[in-house]
Every structure is written in C-alpha cells, then in structure tokens.
Amino acid sequence: KDANAALLSNFEVYQLLTDLKQQRKESGKTKQSSGQQNLNTIMYETLKYISKTPCRYQTPETVREFLVAMKDHKLTK
C-alpha cells in the first residue's frame, strides 16, 4: 500500500503527535524557525482537540479488533 495515501485513525494521529512531542522535549532544542513555531502551534492545537476524544483511551489492539470486525462490511473510504 502507498504510505502517503493511507488514512489515519484519530488514535494513530494522537499517538504520532504525542511521540513527536516527547522526542522534541528530550532533544531540548531551543532555537526554532518561524515555520517550526507554526508547526508547534498546529501540533499543540491538534493534541488539545484530539485528547478530548475517546481515541485517548484506545489501544492498538482495540483499533485492530475494530478493523477486523468491520472488514466483512466492505466499507469504502
């Protein structure tokens, strides 16, 4: 499958953003370009919104189980 054309679940987005936030915190870089500051704002706003949804409490196993259960319904994007 084409990785650039795949759809992400809210859980996957939440997980990616929290991992990225943790990596940035550990690296400790302080000097940022304006583009980087804009990206940080987008990440912050997205995490703020998405952490209020149920995806915050999901696990990879529950997402996998859901996808397997829905496979028989042959839903389209």
Sorted by where each begins, the domain ranges of the chain are 8-23+32-68
17-21, 26-30, 39-43, 63-67, range with the lowest pLDDT = 26-30
Supply the Cα-derived Rg of the chain in whole angstroms.
16
Global pTM reads 0.74
pLDDT at 20 over 60: yes
Q: What is the pLDDT of residue 11?
A: 93
Helix or strand holding residue 22 (H, E): helix 10-27
What percentage of residues in the chain have a pLDDT greater than 70? 91
Number of Cβ within a 10 Å radius of residue 59: 10
Mean pLDDT confidence for 29-56 = 87
